[in-house]
Amino acid sequence: MASENSKRRAFVAITAALSLGLSCAMLEVGLRVRSRVDVDGNVFLGSGRLYPFHLPIERARELAQLYEARGERTYFVYDSDLGWTVRPNGSSDDGLYHANERGVRVGEARRPTSLRPAAGVYRIALFGDSFTHANDVPFEQTWGHVLGEALRERGVRAEVLNLGGSGYAMNQALLRFRKEGRALSPHLVVFGFQRTNVLRNLNLIRLIYNPDSGLIFANPRFVLEGDALRQINWPAPRPAEIPALLADFPSWEFAPYEFFYQPEHYRDRSVFAFRSVALVSAWLFADFTHKRKDYDFFAPRSESRRLARAILDAFELETEAIGAELLVVNLPTRKPLKRLLRDRELKYQDLWAEIARDFQAVDPGPELVALARREGLDTLFAPVGGHYSGSSNAVIGRAVAAAVEPLATRR
């Protein structure tokens, strides 16, 4: 009897082991079928990246070669001081974006920008990222253009210069103001604040922050020394230099300042040959991304929050030094607007409240939410690219005009 029980237990154990092994094998096969591998060997399941992560070395080589091959045809161009900027007199491949001789986004006619505003004209200069540049819509639908038209309807002779840059961090907006904006003598400097700018302030090489980016450039970021800003990674490395930097990244002198590079996520281990193990490990320790989801970028004493505040303080001081004023505009993107539609606070609500308290600021968020409730959230964004649609740009432009009118009329 004991022998039969032993045999039964052994049979059950073997059956269970075989079932488990078969399940694991089927899971492994399924993961290999469903996953994709990029040019650098990164394995993705949907949008989630499995361990080990790989630096985008080959992607950088491809983009660097493409950038060099295209020569004068690129709309965004390397700049040693800014990392990248809008090419003077440049146009995008699809004909959607055009810049004049000063790199200001303009309509197809490429209206020039004089060094100084005409007498009696209130000059406004916009700085920020792609949501300020107004990617995905033609010039006539950008919120900067709508702002100018709305002010003229209110009786204000206004000129709006769009100096936004795709993918910009806050520091790059400030650096562009220093390099190109100050000389244009604006009466009002408008900074379009978008929440991911706070994250980008901590990034050095754009492809590390966003491997799917087509931007083969680097950010000459600021670091804090006490409460003072110090610039590093300047002059910014050229596109042709970036693949070599990535290939030997840990030895680069500025690697410790790349917030989105954590060496432990890039260490290969033999167990990661099993994608099921790689999947579970990436879920447990990185939430499938290098974006540091375990870190609160908006916490009051965080490095990111302190750096964002220091950049805004510098922006205001340097704006006032040329006799101008600074206005900060909140630009809530899809995820923040989803929270607002559910009557939840923004994740950066505390930071925005601080900005609204300490700086001149305007928040078009309520008007955007009202539009989303009437017409649906998807109508607020372009179907390709994910930036604001023409209707959203119109709402923002009019909201900013209402805030700017009293500033313009009191001069």
Of the ranges 18-27, 333-342, 368-377, which one carries the lowest mean pLDDT score? 18-27
pLDDT at 401: 98
Whole-number Å distance between alpha carbons of 200 and 305 = 12
User: What percentage of residues in the chain have a pLDDT greater than 70?
Assistant: 93
Using alpha carbons, select from 207, 244, 203, 208 the residue that is nearest to residue 220: 203
Q: How far apart are CA 350 and CA 308, in angstroms?
A: 13
**Greater model confidence, 21 or 202:** 202
Helices (H), 35-56: none
Question: pLDDT tens-digit profile of 295-336?
Answer: 999 999 999 999 999 999 999 999 999 999 999 999 999 999
pLDDT over 70 (residue 16): no
Q: What is the DSSP string of 9-26?
A: HHHHHHHHHHHHHHHHHH
Q: How confident is the model at residue 30 (pLDDT cuts 50, 70, 90)?
A: confident
Q: What is the pLDDT of residue 113?
A: 97
Question: For residue range 147-169, what is the model confidence (pLDDT) as tens digits?
Answer: 999 999 999 999 999 999 999 99
Q: How confident is the model at residue 17 (pLDDT cuts 50, 70, 90)?
A: low
Examine the pLDDT at 198 and tell me if it is beyond 60: yes
> What's the pLDDT tens digit per position in 132-151?
999 999 999 999 999 999 99
**Phi, then psi, of 383 in degrees rounded to 5:** -65, -30
Check whether 199 has a pLDDT greater than 80.
yes
- As a whole number of angstroms, the longest Cα–Cα distance in the chain is 107
Mean pLDDT of 24-36: 78
Q: What is the pLDDT of residue 11?
A: 55
Can you give the pTM of this predicted structure?
A: 0.93
d(CA 399, CA 369): 13
